[in-house]
C-alpha cells in the first residue's frame, strides 16, 4: 500500500483499487455510492489485505 493509494482511497476510493481487479472496483464503487465512509473503509481494507 503506497502513500498515493492511501490518498486516492480518501479522495476517490474506486480509483485506489484499480489494480486489484473488477470485483474490488465494483464493491468499492457500490459502497461509495451508499456513502463515502463505507467506500473509504472498504478501499483501505482491500489495499491492506492484498499486500
Query: What digits encode the pLDDT tens for the residues 1-51?
Result: 889 999 999 999 999 999 999 999 999 999 999 999 999 999 999 999 866
Predicted local confidence at residue 1, as pLDDT: 80
Look-up of cell digits 489494480: 19
Residue 3 CA to residue 32 CA, distance in Å, equals 20
If you ran DSSP here, which 8-state letter would residue 38 be given? Answer: H
Predicted local confidence at residue 50, as pLDDT: 62
Amino acid at each position: 500500500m503506497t502513500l498515493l493509494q492511501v490518498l486516492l482511497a480518501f479522495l476517490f476510493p474506486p480509483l485506489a483499487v484499480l489494480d486489484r481487479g473488477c470485483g474490488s472496483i465494483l464493491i468499492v464503487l457500490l459502497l461509495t455510492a451508499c456513502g463515502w465512509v463505507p467506500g473509504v473503509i472498504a478501499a483501505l481494507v482491500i489495499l491492506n489485505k492484498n499486500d
